Amino acid sequence: MSAVADIPERQIINNDDGTKTIISYTIENGTKYKITQKVAEIKVTEKVSATIAERKKWHKYGIEKDSKPGPDQSTTQIGEEYIFRLGPNWRQLNEEAEKKLDLERKSTVQSIKCRYCGGPHFSTKCPNKPKDGSVPTRKTAASVAAAAASNITSSTYVPPSLRRREADANAQGIDILEAKKREQEARTLRLTNLNESANKDDLVKGLLAPFSNSIEKAVVVENRTTGRSRGFAYVTFSTEKQAEVALDYVDGRGFMNLIIHADWSQPKDKK
């Protein structure tokens, strides 16, 4: 139990936006970890029996008399995600799952993100904080576009079609580059339900072999951290016509045990 004493107290920081940041420490296999959680109180609705609903209305008593509704951080702490896999080979299952979780954790290391500049620090400490103290709304289209353009801070993949629309919303005028990009997207197909083990070569030399001469670019979208395919791809053809032929050919075709779904990478205006 002495180890527990070595662990610093939990720290709860009430953030401006009503969320809480909880910093706690834990020791696992002799290594000390710091866990930072950002917690929000949310309301969930649920269907329950009349008796249970009745009990929900009970007033608190004892030490909890007059406590406000909802769980209290001092007594109710959200634990760490626990991987619970059942099976006679549970040890292996757990180890595999743990590895996966580790990877995910690594990928979210940069998870503290400033609401002003997107940097890895708390918003309150942002050097670029606006003087008027205005709080940005949740992810405006503009910020997403900016993120997409810089492509550094954004951790999620923004498909080309969305990028374009954001750019539109930006209303900065369409320059030549933009126009070219639009034109390019007009001849791009989005293939979904791809087998995850299919790579670019499989696609170009296999599925799309009849069009291999007219393929300008093919990108299989991958998970940034694991490097695994996310099961969809963008293929740009030399002409829109070619793309259309390919669309007819590919859509609904079986490839590596899966039925491919193909569509334009952006919604086509009805012609």
Partner 1 sequence: MRPLALRGHTRGITQVKFNLEGDIFVSAGKDTDASVWFSHNGERLGTLIGHNGSIFSVDIDKDSKYCITASSDETVKLWNLKTGEIFDEIKFQCPVYRVEFSPDGSKILIVTSTLMKSKGHLIVHNIDRSANIIEKEPVFSIETHEEYKPIQVASWSYNGRYIAAGRTDGSLSKFDGETGQVLKHVPNLHEDIIKDIQFSQDRTYFITSSRDKSAKLIDILTMDTLKSYDTDSALNSACITPVKEFVILAGGQDAKDVTTTSSREGRFESRFFHKIFEDEIGRVSGHFGPINYVAVSPQGTSFVSGGEDGFVRLHHFDKSYFDFKYEVEKTAEAEQESAANNGKVSVDA
Partner 2 sequence: MTDTLAPNFPEIKLEDIHVNEDEIDFSDLKEQYEIISDNTSETKNNVKLDRFVVVDGTPIAPESKVPILTKVLTKLFSQAGEIKDFNLPMDTEEKKTKGYLFIEYANELSVRKAVKLLNGKKLDAKHRLFVNSFRDLEKYGSTENFSAEFKEPVVPKPVSKTLLDSWLLDEYSRDQFSITRDDDTLIAWYRGAHKPENIVEPRRNWSNAPIKFSPFGTYVLSLHEHGVQSWGGPELQLLHKFFHPQVRAVHISPTEKYLVTFSPKPIMLSDNAELNGPFTPEMEGHNIVVWDLATGVLLKTFGIPGNQEFHWPMIKWSYDDKYCGRIGPNAIAIYEPENNFQLSRGELLKVNDVQDFEFAPTGVLLHKARKSNASKITPEDYSTVLCYWTPENNNQSCKATVMELPKRRILRTVNLVQVSDVRFHWQSNSEYLCVQVDRHTKSKKSIFTNLEICKMGERDIPVEKIELKDHVLSFAWEPKGDRFITISIDEAGRDENIAVPQNVVTFFAPEVDNVTKTGKGAAAGSDVKSWKSVYSLPNKFSNKISWSPMGRFVCITTLIRPPQVRNQSEFLFYDMDYPGEHILNKENKTGANKNGVNCNLRDISNGKYGSGTNMQWDKSGRYLACWSSYLRHRVDNGYRVYTCTGKLIRQEGIDGFVSFSWRPRPDHLLSSSEIKKIKKNFKEYSAKFEEMDMMEANEALRTAILDRRSKLQNWNSFRAATQKSVAPYKIFENFSEVEDHTKSLITIEEIQEKILEEKKEVV
Binding site for partner 1 (CB under 8 A): 1-4, 27-30, 46, 48-49, 51-52, 55-56, 58-65, 67, 69-72, 74-88, 90, 94
**Residue 40 touches which member of partner 1, partner 2, none, C-beta under 5-8 Å by kind:** partner 2
The rounded distance, in Å, linking the Cα atoms of 236 and 264 is 10
DSSP 228: -
1 belongs to the binding site for partner 2 (CB under 8 A): no
Q: What is the DSSP letter of 268?
A: P
Number of amino acids touching partner 2 (CB under 8 A):
41
Give SS3 for 255. strand
- Regarding 180 and contact with partner 2 (CB under 8 A), the answer is no
Dist CA 71 CA 190 (whole Å): 46
Q: How far is the CB of 226 from partner 2 (least distance, A)?
A: 18
Q: Which of 14, 60, 64, 70 binds partner 2 (CB under 8 A)?
A: 70
Cβ-contact 12, 22 below 8 angstroms: yes
Evaluated on CA atoms 259, 202, 188, 224, the torsion sign reads positive
Binding-site member from 4, 5, 42, 86 for partner 2 (CB under 8 A): 42
Place of tokens 């569509």: 263
The dihedral sign for the CA sequence 35, 41, 42, 44: positive
Q: Which does 125 bind (CB under 5 to 8 A by kind): partner 1, partner 2, none?
A: none
**CB nearer partner 1, residue 65 or residue 138:** 65
Q: Are 221 and 228 in contact (CB under 8 A)?
A: no
**Of 220, 182, 203, whose CA–CA distance to 255 is shortest?**
203
User: Between residues 107 and 199, which has the closer beta carbon with respect to partner 2?
Assistant: 107
CB of 152 to partner 2, least distance (A): 19
Q: Which residues are near partner 2 by CB under 8 A?
A: 19, 25, 29-53, 56, 69-71, 76, 78, 80-81, 91, 105, 108-109, 111-112
